[in-house]
């Protein structure tokens, strides 16, 4: 019989895997459409592409914004109570995901919203904001990958 903790850890793993895969796809395919880069001007913002694709509302809200955030808090609770050897792996995965969630809500979402009002920024500021956002997005994808691997190991040790 599956316990609540095993179900939550499994859902956490499935959601982290989806977030990592989709994040990687977005990083490679979508973000270059939103932020084309030219040799002379650096990054620019393609507002039409951002509005057309709108992955934040069309995809991320349903996959990670609420589900992964809620799963992170639930997994923090259950990981803290889990027996060794799964405890440390599971808690590390949940804490890394918590850091990723905090960065998403405090930096990534507000910055992408600001970039949608690109007309209020000089081109050099647009370039620097986009460059920072895209560089840190690689870090965010890496955090998702690490948390996913740690959570899988926790599940393997848990059973």
Report how far residue 44's alpha carbon sits from residue 126's, in angstroms, rounded to the nearest whole number. 7
37: β partners: 43
Task: For residue 154, give the H/E element and its range.
Answer: helix 123-158
Q: Where are the beta strands (DSSP E) in the chain?
A: 37-38, 42-43
What pLDDT is attached to residue 1?
55
72: nearest Cα among 110, 107, 103, 113:
103
What pLDDT is attached to residue 38?
82
pLDDT in tens, 8-37: 999 999 999 999 999 999 999 999 999 998
Report how far residue 122's alpha carbon sits from residue 68's, in angstroms, rounded to the nearest whole number. 35
pLDDT bin (cut points 50, 70, 90) of residue 7 is: very high
Mean pLDDT of 98-111: 96
Domain boundaries, the chain: 4-158
């Amino acid at each position: 019989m599956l316990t609540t903790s095993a179900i939550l850890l499994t859902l956490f793993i499935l959601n982290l895997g989806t977030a990592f895969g989709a994040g990687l796809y977005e990083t490679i395919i979508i973000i270059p459409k939103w932020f084309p880069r030219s040799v002379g001007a650096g990054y620019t913002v393609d507002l039409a592409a951002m509005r057309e694709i709108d992955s934040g509302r069309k995809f991320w809200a349903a996959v990670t914004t609420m589900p992964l955030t809620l799963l992170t808090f639930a997994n923090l609770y259950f990981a803290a109570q889990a027996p060794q050897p799964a405890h440390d792996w599971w808690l590390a995965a949940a804490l890394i995901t918590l850091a990723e969630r905090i960065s998403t809500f405090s930096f990534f979402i507000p910055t992408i919203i600001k970039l949608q009002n690109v007309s209020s920024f000089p081109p050099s500021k647009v370039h620097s904001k986009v460059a920072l956002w895209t560089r840190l997005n690689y870090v965010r994808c890496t955090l998702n990958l690490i948390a996913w691997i740690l959570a899988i190991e926790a599940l393997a040790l848990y059973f």
